[in-house]
Amino acid sequence: MNYTTKEISNITNSTLIGEENLQVKTIHFDSRNIFSSIEAAFIAINSEKNTGEKYIRSAVDKGIKIIISENKLAGFPEVTWIIVENAIRFLQQLAHYHLRQFSLKTIGITGSNGKTVVKEWLYQSVFDQFITVKSPKSFNSQIGLPLSLLQINNKHELGIFEVGISKPSEMEILEEIFSPEIGVLTHIGAAHSSNFISEDQLIEEKIKLFQHSKVIIFNGDHHEVSEKLNQKYADKKHISFGLKISNDVHFENDWATKTEPLVVNFCGELITIPIQQRDEATLSNALCTISLLKELGIGTEIIIEKINNLKSVEMRLESVTGLRDNLIINDSYNLDLDSLKIAYHFINEYNKPQKSLILTDFVEGKNSEKLYHDVAELTNRQKFHQIFLIGTEITQYHDLFNDETITFKNTDELIKSHVLNQIENQLILLKGARKFEIERVKTYLELQKHDTILEIKLNAILHNINVHKSVLKPETKMMAMVKAYSYGLGGYEIAEFLQHHHIDYLGVAYADEGVDLRKNGISTPIMVMNPEQHSYNIIIDYKLEPEIYSFRVLELFTAELKQKGIQKKYPIHIKLETGMHRLGFKSNEVDNLIQLLNTLDVKVASIFSHLATSDIEDEKNYTLGQITEFTAMSDRLIAGLGYQPLRHLLNSSGIVNFSEHQFDMVRIGIGMIGISSNAAIKSKLQNAVTFKSVISQISNISAGDSVGYSRNYKAEVSTRIATLPVGYADGIPRLIGNGVGTVGIRGNLYSIVGNVCMDMMMVDLKNENQIVEGEEVIIFNSQPSLEEFADYCKTIPYEVLTSISRRVKRIYVKN
Ligand SMILES: *Cc1c(COP(=O)(O)O)cnc(C)c1O
Same domain, 526 and 652: yes
Q: Within 13 A of 226's CA, how many CA atoms are on the CB side? A: 13
CATH code (residue 377) = 3.90.190.20
Q: What's the average model confidence in pLDDT over 8-15?
A: 96
Q: Residue 91: inside a domain, yes or no?
A: no
Q: What's the average model confidence in pLDDT over 692-697?
A: 92
535 ligand 1 Cβ < 6 A: no
pLDDT (tens digit per residue) in 761-797: 999 999 888 888 888 899 999 889 999 999 999 999 9
610 ligand 1 Cβ < 6 A: yes
For the chain, percent of residues with pLDDT exceeding 70: 96
Asked if 104 and 152 touch (Cβ cutoff 8 Å), the reply is yes
Helix (H) or strand (E) holding 568: none
Is 695's pLDDT higher than 50?
A: yes
CA 657 to centroid of ligand 1, rounded, Å:
14
β-bridge pairing 719-724 and 697-701: antiparallel
Burial 332-355 (b: 16+ CB within 10 A, else e): bbbbbbbbbebbbebbeeeebeeb
Q: What is the Cα Rg of the chain in Å? A: 29
797 ligand 1 Cβ < 6 A: no
- Residue 610 CA: nearest ligand 1 atom is 13
Instruction: Tell me, yes or no, if 355 is annotated catalytic.
Output: no
Asked if 593 and 585 touch (Cβ cutoff 8 Å), the reply is yes
> Probe ligand 1: pick from 471, 667, 682, max atoms within 8 Å of CB?
667
CA 320 to centroid of ligand 1, rounded, Å:
37
The rounded distance, in Å, linking the Cα atoms of 402 and 780 is 49
Of residues 442, 483, 575, 692, which has the active-site annotation?
A: 483
Same domain, 498 and 435: no
Same domain, 504 and 627: yes
DSSP string computed for 435-500: GG-THHHHHHHHGGGGSSEEEEEHHHHHHHHHHHHTTS-TT-EEEEE-HHHHHTT-SHHHHHHHHH
- Residue 652 CA: nearest ligand 1 atom is 9
Provide CB contacts within 8 A for 430, sequence distance 6+: 328, 329, 330, 331, 332, 358, 438, 441, 442
Ligand 1 atom 10 nearest Cα? 651
Q: Residue 96: inside a domain, yes or no?
A: no
What is the reported pLDDT for 349?
63
CA 813 to centroid of ligand 1, rounded, Å:
25
Same domain, 461 and 530: yes
Give the lowest-confidence range in 65-79, 86-100, 294-308, 337-351.
Answer: 337-351
Burial 378-388 (b: 16+ CB within 10 A, else e): ebeebebbbbb
Same domain, 272 and 400: no
Amino acid found at 46 = N
Same domain, 662 and 712: no
- Number of Cβ atoms within 10 Å of the Cβ of 412: 13
In three-state secondary structure terms, 233 is: coil
Is 332's pLDDT higher than 80?
A: no
Q: Residue 470: inside a domain, yes or no?
A: yes
Instruction: Tell me, yes or no, if 483 is annotated catalytic.
Output: yes
> Probe ligand 1: pick from 468, 610, 657, max atoms within 8 Å of CB?
610
Asked if 255 and 285 touch (Cβ cutoff 8 Å), the reply is no
CB-based burial of residue 370 (10 Å sphere; 0-12 exposed, 13-18 middle, 19+ buried)? exposed
Of residues 237, 473, 564, 709, which has the active-site annotation?
A: 709
What is the reported pLDDT for 24?
95
> Probe ligand 1: pick from 481, 655, 668, 681, max atoms within 8 Å of CB?
481
Average pLDDT of the chain?
91
**Residue 314 — pLDDT band, cuts 50, 70, 90?**
very low
Amino acid found at 671 = G
CA 41 to centroid of ligand 1, rounded, Å:
30
Q: Residue 256: inside a domain, yes or no?
A: yes
CA 328 to centroid of ligand 1, rounded, Å:
41
Task: Specify the number of domains making up the chain.
Answer: 5
Q: Residue 93: inside a domain, yes or no?
A: no
Q: What's the average model confidence in pLDDT over 174-181?
A: 96
What is the reported pLDDT for 311?
59
Q: Residue 92: inside a domain, yes or no?
A: no
The rounded distance, in Å, linking the Cα atoms of 61 and 56 is 9
Same domain, 82 and 129: no
In three-state secondary structure terms, 1 is: coil
501 ligand 1 Cβ < 6 A: no
CB-based burial of residue 270 (10 Å sphere; 0-12 exposed, 13-18 middle, 19+ buried)? exposed
Ligand 1 atom 6 nearest Cα? 669
What is the reported pLDDT for 317?
62
Amino acid found at 91 = L
669 ligand 1 Cβ < 6 A: yes
Q: Within 13 A of 650's CA, how many CA atoms are on the CB side? A: 26
The rounded distance, in Å, linking the Cα atoms of 184 and 251 is 19
CATH code (residue 634) = 3.20.20.10
Tell me: cis bond preceding 784? Omega within 30 of 0 counts.
yes
CA 547 to centroid of ligand 1, rounded, Å:
14
Looking at mean pLDDT, say which of 59-63, 420-424, 507-511 comes out highest: 507-511
Is 373's pLDDT higher than 70?
A: yes
- Residue 615 CA: nearest ligand 1 atom is 7
- For residue 652, which of 671, 674, 665 has the smallest C-alpha distance? 671
For the chain, percent of residues with pLDDT exceeding 90: 71
**Residue 742 — pLDDT band, cuts 50, 70, 90?**
very high
Give the lowest-confidence range in 63-67, 266-270, 493-497, 616-620.
Answer: 493-497
DSSP string computed for 136-181: STT--STTHHHHHHTT--TT-SEEEEE---SSTTHHHHHHHH---S
CATH code (residue 213) = 3.40.1190.10
Q: Within 13 A of 14's CA, how many CA atoms are on the CB side? A: 31
Asked if 492 and 470 touch (Cβ cutoff 8 Å), the reply is no
652 ligand 1 Cβ < 6 A: yes
Positive or negative torsion for Cα 740, 743, 744, 750: negative
Residue 311, sorted as left (phi over 0), alpha (psi -120 to 50) or beta, turns out to be beta
> Probe ligand 1: pick from 482, 614, 651, 786, max atoms within 8 Å of CB?
651
pTM value > 0.75 = no
- Residue 509 CA: nearest ligand 1 atom is 15
Domain residues for the domain of 719 are 689-813
Same domain, 371 and 440: yes
Same domain, 120 and 138: yes
- For residue 541, which of 521, 525, 562, 561 has the smallest C-alpha distance? 561
Is 449's pLDDT higher than 60?
A: no
613 ligand 1 Cβ < 6 A: no
Given 682, 714, 734, the domain boundary residue is 682
**Residue 318 — pLDDT band, cuts 50, 70, 90?**
low
Same domain, 535 and 394: no
573 ligand 1 Cβ < 6 A: no
Q: Residue 97: inside a domain, yes or no?
A: no
Residues paired with residue 480 on neighbouring β-strands, in sequence order: 506, 668
651 ligand 1 Cβ < 6 A: yes
Provide CB contacts within 8 A for 140, sequence distance 6+: 115, 148, 161, 162, 163, 164
Same domain, 630 and 717: no
Given 447, 464, 487, the domain boundary residue is 447
CA 610 to centroid of ligand 1, rounded, Å:
8
CA 502 to centroid of ligand 1, rounded, Å:
19
CATH code (residue 36) = 3.40.1390.10
Q: Residue 95: inside a domain, yes or no?
A: no
- For residue 53, which of 63, 38, 67, 64 has the smallest C-alpha distance? 67
671 ligand 1 Cβ < 6 A: yes
Asked if 216 and 208 touch (Cβ cutoff 8 Å), the reply is no
Q: How far is CA 320 from CA 325, 327, 351, 804, in A?
A: 11, 6, 15, 23
Provide CB contacts within 8 A for 469, sequence distance 6+: 35, 36, 63, 478
The rounded distance, in Å, linking the Cα atoms of 696 and 807 is 18
Is 724's pLDDT higher than 50?
A: yes
Ligand 1 atom 8 nearest Cα? 669
What is the reported pLDDT for 192?
55
Provide CB contacts within 8 A for 399, sequence distance 6+: none
Q: What's the average model confidence in pLDDT over 410-428?
A: 88
CA 467 to centroid of ligand 1, rounded, Å:
17
Burial 78-104 (b: 16+ CB within 10 A, else e): ebbbbbbeebbebbbbbbbbbbeebeb
Given 258, 291, 308, the domain boundary residue is 308
Ligand 1 atom 12 nearest Cα? 610
pLDDT (tens digit per residue) in 376-398: 999 998 899 999 999 999 999 99
Cα–chain-centroid distance for residue 657?
Answer: 31
Same domain, 152 and 177: yes
Provide CB contacts within 8 A for 801, sequence distance 6+: 487, 488, 489, 673, 689, 786
Asked if 357 and 381 touch (Cβ cutoff 8 Å), the reply is no
β-bridge pairing 426-431 and 327-331: parallel
**Higher-scoring residue by pLDDT: 362, 37:** 362
**Residue 637 — pLDDT band, cuts 50, 70, 90?**
very high
Q: How far is CA 403 from CA 345, 373, 411, 432, in A?
A: 19, 15, 20, 19
Identify how many contiguous H helices and E strands the chain contains and give both numbers. Answer: 26, 41
CA 457 to centroid of ligand 1, rounded, Å:
21
Strand ranges inside 367-419, DSSP E: 386-390, 404-408
What phi and psi values does residue 335 have, to the nearest 5 degrees?
Answer: -135, 105
159 ligand 1 Cβ < 6 A: no
CA 526 to centroid of ligand 1, rounded, Å:
14
